[in-house]
Amino acid sequence: MKNRILFILLIIVYSVTEVQSQKTEGISSTGKVFIVGKNTDINKFVKTYVEEKISTWQKKGEYEKTADYQSRVNEQLRSKKIQEYTDDAVVILKKEYSRSINWTNLQLGAFDADNEAYLITSQELGNFALPVSVASAPSLKQNWSSIKILNTDFYVSANKFVLAKIEVFNPMDNKKFVYDSKQVTTYSANNIQYNFGEIKVDVKDDKVVNNTKITETKTTMGRDVVDTDIPVSTFAKNNTYCLIIGNEDYSSNQTGINSEMNVQFAVNDAKIFKEYCVKTFGIPEKNVTLLTNATGSKMLQNIELISKIAKANNGNAELIFYYAGHGLPDEQTKEPYLIPVDVSGNDLKYAVKLMDVYKKLTENPSNKVTVFLDACFSGGARNESLLALRRVKIKAKENVVGNNLVVFTSSSGDESSAPYKEKQHGMFTYYLLKKIQDSKGNCTYKELEEYLKKEISVNSLVINKKQQTPQVIGSPDVEEKWKNWKIK
């Protein structure tokens, strides 16, 4: 009922002056009032509706404890709420859109006896064929002015509603005729780029007596501007190909005693990095592969694929490999591995050896290959420890990279790669994105290296109380040349 009231308010709280000045359906010049019709901006309505709902949902209740609030409000649960409110908004919008249509204007065309269907024409809905048997056709034509529309449904195409289903009832013979386009009518929240404010909680202890100390704690959750204010380039990098992997959810794929801890924000890291690749660097979306919570087989398949793509481009391709997730060294050989979500660090037989990744990326000629690793290889991790039973950190062997390969890593030696919880990212990825955002992608690798080392070295100590020193490893084949490279 509340949803219904909200929608009605959006529609009817509209001045006569504005209505007279608005020539078509859609959104008023103020951006606050929605007029339902064939030109309604569905995305904008859903965005407004969901953002208002989420804004209310993510506020801390007056009598809600901070621990309960933090359990109730987080990025994962907010994603579920976004889809829930999106579904609510679209259901309401569909109903109002259906009510806005003048169904008496449906025109009954000629009957096709061979295919047993009437052609129905409508200025609002377009043309569609209504299946009607030969026996029922005369009665429907004779009583067309008396028909009733029982049920309708719509699907979204190009941000507009298109008729998906309609039931026509002839009261004279009590027969129902159904047009069904068989189109999927669900609407995904992923169609919209939301811009939510941070979730801020001010918690104050109750003042019991005059000498009671009142303290204030602030807890911040939500999307940072680095996620929402992404520079857009008109430049196209048609020969650049990306493989982006964000491995966060290990616990769902492993149930044993040696199951791995999850990697906070790794999926968000990967998704936002992909947006920068497409929007800021101008890499065609079809050239970008995003894997979230990838298994070992999935990782290996796509590493092999990007290698083949480089070969097919005859040396003209540029490759980008990004990984956020667990890393771990072999205790005996010290070889570093990337850990798929279905592999335990106790058994690295099915993990992905980092050196093998480098070899695959460079086995075929290409203009340049850039690797970004937001993972440590010491046995530590964003959530303090990688293995449930391992407490000893190991300094991984540093691989010597070859060909035209440059690797940006989030930490050095036996350091851990920590999260930046306030920003909902890994510390390394956040500052990587921040530099790309600030420079609009137009920075050299040397400038990026200097920025990452300065910002992460300081802020990891200030925020996480731990040393984290990113490093860059350049192939001897490119010597100092890589420092002047740019992605854009």
Helices 2-12, 75-100: axis angle to 10 degrees equals 60
CA dihedral in degrees (282, 283, 285, 289; nearest 10)?
Answer: -140
The strand ranges marked E within 158-270 are 160-170, 175-180, 199-204, 216-221, 240-246
Task: Give the three-state DSSP class for 299.
Answer: helix
Q: Each residue's pLDDT tens digit in the chain (488 positions)?
A: 555 444 444 443 333 333 333 334 444 433 444 455 667 788 888 888 888 898 889 888 889 888 888 888 887 788 888 888 888 988 888 898 898 899 999 999 989 988 899 999 998 888 889 999 999 999 999 999 999 999 999 888 777 888 989 999 999 999 999 999 875 545 555 555 555 554 443 323 333 333 333 344 444 445 688 998 999 999 899 999 999 999 998 888 776 545 567 898 999 999 999 999 999 999 999 999 999 999 999 999 999 999 999 999 999 999 999 999 999 888 788 899 999 999 987 888 899 999 999 999 999 999 999 999 999 876 555 554 444 333 334 444 455 566 899 999 999 877 888 899 889 899 999 999 999 999 999 999 999 999 999 999 999 999 999 999 999 998 888 878 999 999 88
The strand ranges marked E within 381-424 are 405-409, 419-420
Q: H or E segment at 229?
A: none
Both structure tokens of 150: 């029982």
Q: How far apart are CA 2 and CA 89, in angstroms?
A: 12
Q: H or E segment at 77?
A: helix 75-100
Query: Which pLDDT value is given to residue 41?
Result: 81
* Helix intervals (H) in 101-164: 137-142
Is the pTM of the predicted complex or chain greater than 0.75? no
Cα–Cα distance list, 458 to 72, 178, 407 (Å): 32, 66, 21
Q: How far apart are CA 360 and CA 401, in angstroms?
A: 12
Which of 391, 432, 394, 392 lies closest to 413 in space, CA to CA? 394
Which of 438, 435, 433 lies closest to 448 in space, CA to CA? 435
Query: Residue 316: which residues within 8 A CB-CB, separation 6 or more?
Result: 239, 366, 367
The rounded Cα 394 to chain-centroid distance in angstroms is: 34
Residues above pLDDT 70, as percent of the chain? 77
The 10 Å CB-count burial string (b at 16+, else e) for 123-159 is eebeebebebeeeebeebeeebeebeeeebbbbbeee
Q: How far apart are CA 305 and CA 439, in angstroms?
A: 31
Both structure tokens of 391: 């407490």
Task: Give the three-state DSSP class for 111.
Answer: strand
The rounded Cα 52 to chain-centroid distance in angstroms is: 20
DSSP 277: I
Cα–Cα distance list, 150 to 101, 170, 209, 346 (Å): 13, 10, 66, 61
Contact 346, 388 (CB under 8 A): no
Q: Return the number of other C-beta atoms located less than 10 Å from residue 55's C-beta.
A: 12
Main-chain phi, psi angles of 75, to 5 degrees: -65, -35
